[in-house]
Structure 1
């Protein structure tokens, strides 16, 4: 239900950038224009903004559009391997780019503060969203790691996948969950915006490494499983270019392991580089503080002696 016939689906594959007709895929993503508005506001005030963050945000928006609003997004409902590719894009690739764009930092710099006599404005609501107890709970390292991994097992191995993939609203729900879950995870792990509760680099490393382990295990379970997920749904489609549903599912498991772990490894290396840089800056500040303390007694001694006479 809600899925085009194989002939129309094949056209979507032949023209992967063609806009798909589903309502959720026709909807324009507002995050791109809002980000550009923030950049324009800062530029008018003469405030700079790192170009790398802008490039990262635009890249995330482009990948999000291609994944959900092109023919590929329509095709992902008909072939498990394509669906798993979309899963990786929405839960890992897009969130990494968006988190590195620093949208909340940009908004806080661009939005004006409300006057004391005025009711709270957008900037105050954003601060409340960031600092409220629910946000602190959702961005707690243990919670953010658990929810990122749990979605894989809950949807695919918990008996929910066929019900969700066979309905358009169910497919929309999965896409939204993967996107939000991935953004929360990578906001805490490598995001530019400050989290409600500070997280040490060591904790980020541990959460990322544990998530990589569970992600590898999930992909291996798909590869080795002899049970076809959503078999009735895919069998009813009877697409001629997918003669072996189990083989296609194994390919999807391989995509999950290879693509997912490659992107997580990139994040691990980037996080390690940031940690090393942060430790270097900390050591430099400590050396400066030590040097200042050693210089203080000498300065006091010189002041007490006064200027030397010739």
Structure 2
């Protein structure tokens, strides 16, 4: 407490306090423990039923839990209500990083492996229903994922989070849910009601990265004019950076973290697009092999083996595409 200013927040944030300040939140830790226990039981049950569950999925699950704990019970959770840049780091992590790890875990695949046979038909009907199809549509996830941060930062949502524990927790859950919805529909690692070309995901991913860059730049150059300015000014914080610099730092943190997670995400989407094209080409080749006559396949193979200049009509006037003749030296007649 600082009597001369009326400040009641935590002490000045230093590098030492970043490493040593922890505030165990019983509610958060209990929720994470319940989720971890449920996941372990589900994996054990799936393996007992003969369903293989790769270690990389459990690693992604552990990363999701560890990241959530890091931004809620470490110094980030302690100073999130005092410094805007800390709150920006927390929100970005819950919105972009934790859901990506969760999507890599493939929770719907695990749930399907545990579903009793008697409930399969009902679950299948619900999964392919119109509401679920609407949620899985590329436009739904894209609009929610790209629009939600703008609403949180540029409306009264953020001040409400800072002043209400209930709104804070509900917003954190919503951010993770919307982020997972986005990655679920884009990566398509788990079952989805309707599959779309990975090229659609690649295009949406590029648009999302660009829009988040714009949002980060706006936060950097807003200069403390409207991002919960009244709340942070009312804290009368006597230490640390100014309000405008705090907001610029928060915008920079959002921009950096968004791009840091965007790079591996784009790499995953690009790899899946390449594999999709390879599978499609292999399927076409297999279909042609089943239906095309043998002599047609041989002719096509011979045609593909010819040099490009023998088949390209653009160089026909040069005479390079004239079929080559095998010539040899005629034997001389004996004199």
TM-score of the pair, normalised by structure 1: 0.83
Q: What is the 5 A alignment of 1:78-93?
A: 78-93=82-97
Aligned to 2:286: 288
Measure, in 2, the Cα distance between the counterparts of 1:295 and 1:52: 45
Match of 1:253 in 2: 251
Aligned to 1:107, which of 99, 104, 111? 111
- Deviation of 1:9 after TM superposition, in Å, equals 8.8
Does the CA contact (< 8 Å) of 1:6 and 1:239 recur in 2? no
Give, in angstroms, the shift of residue 272 of structure 1: 0.5
CA contact (8 A) 1:12 1:18 kept: no
Q: Matched residues in 1 for 2:155 and 2:51: separation? A: 49
Aligned residue for 1:30?
34
Partner of residue 144 from structure 1, selected from 141, 146, 150: 141
2:65 to 45, 61, 65: 61
Alpha-carbon distance in structure 2 between the residues aligned to 1:154 and 1:51: 37
| 1:19 matched to 2:55 | no
Instruction: Mark the runs of 5 or more structure 2 residues left unpaired by the alignment.
Output: 1-6, 297-335
Aligned length: 288
Which of 175, 178, 181 lines up with 1:181 in the alignment? 178
Q: Contact between 1:228 and 1:249, CA under 8 Å: does it hold in 2? A: no
1:159 to 156, 160, 174: 156
The answer (yes or no) to whether the contact 2:161–2:168 under 8 Å persists in 1 is: yes
Q: Is 1:196 the equivalent of 2:201?
A: no
The 3-state SS of whatever aligns with 2:181 is: helix
Name the CA distance, whole Å, in 1 between partners of 2:188 and 2:34.
20
| Structure exhibiting the larger radius of gyration computed from Cα positions | 2
Query: Which stretch shows the higher mean deviation, 159-168 or 34-43?
Result: 159-168
Deviations 1:246-276 (A, max 9, x none): 1011111111111102211211111111110
Normalised by the size of structure 2, how large is the TM-score?
A: 0.77
List gaps (5 residues or longer) in structure 1: 115-119, 299-310
* Cα displacement string for residues 220-269 of structure 1 (whole angstroms, at most 9, x for unaligned residues): 11111131422232223333443301101111111111110221121111
RMSD, aligned CA = 2.8
CA shift, 1:168, in A, is 1.4
Cα separation, 1, equivalents of 2:146 and 2:256 = 16
On the 8 A contact 2:99/2:179 being kept in 1, the answer is yes
Aligned to 2:325: none
